[in-house]
Amino acid sequence: MPYSYDDQNIFAKILRGEIPNDTVYEDDHALAFRDIQPQTPDHVLVIPKGPYVTFDHLATEGSDDEIVGFTRAIGKVCDMLGVDPGSDGAGYRMISNAGEHGVQEVPHLHVHILAGRPIGRMIAREA
């Protein structure tokens, strides 16, 4: 099934500079900004600059440069937040919701970096 991308979604508007955001990091491939409704003391969204709906969309149709650039940006954000356990950070959770069952609200790929407190179990036992 071909992927389709709606360029009127709120993160597309943020990328076009039509809506403000609290930027944490930006490069040619990615933008990272603070979630407007943070669930943890540090709650940052990392999005690719390309028009991808989900992680599988990027992984399937993205160029190697886009995939590597997006992944490297996630690493940079973890480093900037000081949460990388390999560098003595206290850790974090990375989530990327996709589609209806994933309860994805914004149809532009985003990775949530959640950190700053113990987060608990991976998922609720029941939805």
HEC assignment per residue over 89-100: CCCCEEECCCCC
Q: How far is the CB of 98 from ligand AMP (least distance, A)?
A: 8
Out of 64, 88, 105, 126, the residue judged to bind ligand AMP by CB under 6 A = 105
Cβ(9)–Cβ(47) below 8 Å: no
59: Cβ contacts below 8 Å, ≥ 6 apart? 67
41 touches 117 (CB < 8 A): yes
d(Cα 71, Cα 3) in Å, to the nearest integer? 21
Among the listed residues 2, 37, 86, 120, the single contact to ligand AMP using CB under 6 A? 37
For ligand AMP, the closer of residues 22 and 65 by Cβ is 22
Does the annotation count 110 as an active-site position? yes
For ligand AMP, the closer of residues 85 and 99 by Cβ is 99
Q: List residues near ligand AMP by CB under 6 A.
A: 10, 19, 21, 33, 35-37, 45, 97, 103-106
